[in-house]
Amino acid sequence: MASNSKKKVSKRDVIIKEAALLFKEKGYGSASMRDLAERVGVEAASIYSHIKSKDEILEEICFRIAGEYVSHISKIEDEKSSYTDKVKAIINLHIRLMVEDAASVAVTNNDWKSLPEPKLSIFKTLRKGYEARFAKLIEEGIAKKEFAPMNVSVAMFTILSSIRWVELWYNPDRNITEKELEKDITNLLLKGLKK
């Protein structure tokens, strides 16, 4: 007897996924729960049996994506590899998340400021902590002479901003695979870092 290995997707998961797409298209502030209900194909009132509020959806999206970044940078920091490879792994992580879940990454990047307190402060702390850890890897790479001397913040924010366009541009119909995209972007960015 064959077992069904596909994970069952809950109505809540469908709502969160569709909400990310809706927020990306219309912006968090312009999207309504009524818009979301129409998109999912349920009555506006019944959507609240799965989700308490639009804020709850934004919180779930932002903290899930932030959690991905934080858990992966922890693994990257622990690797016994060069700082060049660690920075490359971070770049590839950002690209992979944008390719696999562009809508959620876009919402996290663009709408996190709409989180209500105290979630906004918690998210800011996570974000700043992630940036500090990334900056430290670049700083250590400079100290080990893997990277040319430069302002660490400029290097980090240039890398992060240089890959944000992927969420808007990439789709599977483009004449480039995810691996080719990662290779081209990391080669382009790291040649500017290498001494």
pLDDT tens per residue across all 195 residues of the chain:
444 545 677 889 999 999 999 999 999 999 999 999 999 998 888 899 899 999 999 999 999 999 999 999 999 999 999 999 999 999 999 999 999 999 999 999 999 999 999 999 999 999 999 999 999 999 999 999 999 999 999 999 999 999 999 988 888 888 898 899 999 999 888 885 655
- Which of the 8 DSSP states describes residue 46? G
In degrees, rounded to 5, the angle at the alpha carbon of residue 90 between the alpha carbons of residues 188 and 59 is: 125
| Overall residue count recorded for the chain in this entry | 195
Contact in structure between 148 and 193 (CB atoms under 8 Å):
yes
Q: How far is CA 60 from the centre of its chain?
A: 13
Q: What range defines the domain where residue 150 resides?
A: 54-193
Q: Is residue 30 part of a domain?
A: no
Distance in angstroms (rounded) separating the CA atoms of residues 113 and 59 = 11
Q: Is residue 49 part of a domain?
A: no
Between the two ends of the chain, the Cα-to-Cα distance in Å is: 59
- Other C-beta atoms lying within 10 Å of the C-beta of residue 2: 4
Token pair belonging to 7? 């994970």
The CA-based diameter of the chain, rounded to the nearest angstrom, is 61
Task: Check which CATH number belongs to the domain holding 125 and give it.
Answer: 1.10.357.10
Contact in structure between 147 and 193 (CB atoms under 8 Å):
yes
Q: Is residue 153 part of a domain?
A: yes
Q: Number of structural domains, the chain?
A: 1
Q: Is residue 35 part of a domain?
A: no
Q: Is residue 46 part of a domain?
A: no
Distance in angstroms (rounded) separating the CA atoms of residues 63 and 163 = 20
